[in-house]
């Protein structure tokens, strides 16, 4: 088993639930996406739309967004880039790749999603024209779907998805294309800052207009555009601060381990006696698992304090090498959880947790060099 890649056993992005997996890529729903769908369903079912038309329209747009994200993942896979997961936000899906994309890769992957929506729109408009059905032409029609125009509304909605996603601002696909193009003439972190800045400006403008026009749904979307742009900017800063820096520079070298024959009580006592929250489980000199704080508490509640750690530990832990580039480890850490074991061959040489990684980034930002 390749332990340098986290499996689906790990929880994925915080605040999300797994929807399903497609071609090995987990699609997860952010809590805000679920909240938005719930609000829209309640609002529209309380209005004058027919339930069948509304349901068909909603399902059609959800499928369109999912196909958009699947296109990203399939093109990434064809370029030998694994998509760790796709998180569905109200503004659309945010895919997380296993490594930083090259400019050419990012352009092809980014353009695949809007291209799928354009093809859906063209296909539906062609069908409607061939069957002489009415086609909606006003964006406001999207708010009042009917049994007659629902296919046209789905087609028009896909055109809006194309237009929105091609805006040259993060976190839209157009922002990623802009970042990729700028990367040919500017450093990657500077290109990301420019695209993220444009995303924030777009969100502020959208939010102000929504407030003045009493379009509060637009304000809601503007908030997530702003947060998405800010997340991209922070991720770019993290990549800049870690690029070329080995894992050994940021790992914890003073840590405690637990023998596989110890009990949950022993683990809880060590949790209280130290500041450590993740404990490698060993059998002699061999690492056989990892017991984190949350897993420990769950085991304490379900199995009791006399249960053995070997029966509740995580055997599918993330293992990384001390000479790996920290920039390559960041997406793996985001997917796997809060702790990775640093292994030099079969020897455990350190721990890399989200806490000490964050502290390392802060020190780097203030100009402190590793080992100084």
Query: In CATH, what is the architecture of 247-365?
Result: Roll (3.10)
Q: Which two tokens stand for residue 300?
A: 């304490």
For 291-302, how does the pLDDT look when each residue is reduced to its tens digit (9 = 90+)? 988 899 999 999
Q: Does residue 46 sit in helix, strand or coil? A: coil
For 222-245, how does the pLDDT look when each residue is reduced to its tens digit (9 = 90+)? 877 887 777 777 777 777 778 788
For 92-126, how does the pLDDT look when each residue is reduced to its tens digit (9 = 90+)? 677 777 777 888 888 999 999 999 999 999 999 89
Burial class of residue 94, CB neighbours in 10 A (0-12, 13-18, 19+): buried
pTM: 0.66
Question: Residue 196: pLDDT above 70?
Answer: yes
Question: Residue 329: pLDDT above 80?
Answer: yes
Q: Is the peptide bond before 171 cis (omega within 30 degrees of 0)?
A: yes
Q: Does residue 85 sit in helix, strand or coil? A: strand
- Listed by start position, the domains of the chain span 1-166, 176-243, 247-365
Q: What is the arithmetic mean of pLDDT over 57-67?
A: 82
For 144-168, how does the pLDDT look when each residue is reduced to its tens digit (9 = 90+)? 555 456 788 888 889 888 988 888 8
Strand (E) or helix (H) holding 29: strand 25-30
Predicted confidence band at 3 (pLDDT cuts at 50, 70, 90)?
A: very low
Predicted confidence band at 6 (pLDDT cuts at 50, 70, 90)?
A: very low
């Amino acid at each position: 088993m390749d332990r340098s890649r986290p499996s689906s056993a790990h929880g994925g992005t915080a605040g999300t639930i797994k929807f399903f997996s497609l071609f090995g890529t987990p699609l997860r729903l952010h809590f805000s996406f679920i909240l938005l769908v719930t609000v829209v369903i309640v609002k529209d079912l309380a209005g004058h739309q027919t339930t069948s038309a509304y349901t068909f329209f909603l399902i059609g747009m959800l499928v369109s967004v999912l196909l958009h994200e699947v296109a990203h993942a399939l093109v990434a896979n064809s370029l030998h880039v694994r998509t760790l997961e796709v998180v569905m936000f109200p503004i659309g899906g945010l895919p997380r790749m296993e490594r930083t994309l090259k400019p050419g890769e990012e352009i092809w992957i980014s353009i695949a999603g809007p291209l799928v929506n354009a093809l859906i729109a063209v296909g539906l408009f062609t069908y409607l024209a061939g069957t002489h059905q009415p086609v909606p032409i006003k964006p406001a029609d999207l708010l009042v779907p009917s049994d007659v125009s629902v296919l046209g509304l789905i087609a028009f909605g896909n055109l809006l998805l194309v237009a929105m996603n091609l805006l040259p601002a993060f976190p839209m696909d157009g922002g990623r294309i802009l970042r990729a193009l700028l990367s040919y003439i500017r450093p990657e972190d500077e290109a990301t800052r420019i695209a993220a800045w444009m995303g924030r400006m777009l969100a502020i403008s959208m939010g102000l207009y929504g407030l003045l026009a009493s379009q509060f749904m637009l304000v809601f979307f503007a908030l997530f555009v702003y947060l998405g742009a800010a997340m991209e900017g922070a991720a770019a800063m993290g990549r800049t601060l870690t690029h070329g820096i080995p894992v050994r520079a940021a790992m914890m070298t003073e840590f405690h381990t637990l023998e596989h024959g110890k009990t949950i009580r022993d683990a809880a006592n060590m949790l209280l006696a130290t500041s450590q929250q993740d404990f490698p489980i060993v059998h002699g000199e061999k690492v056989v698992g990892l017991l984190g704080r949350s897993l420990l508490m769950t085991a304490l509640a379900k199995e009791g304090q006399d249960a053995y750690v070997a029966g509740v530990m995580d055997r599918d832990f993330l293992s990384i090498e001390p000479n790996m580039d920290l920039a390559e480890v960041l997406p793996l850490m985001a997917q796997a959880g809060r702790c990775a074991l640093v292994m030099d061959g079969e020897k455990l040489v350190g721990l890399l947790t989200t806490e000490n990684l964050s502290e390392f980034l802060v020190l780097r930002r203030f100009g402190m060099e590793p080992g100084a």
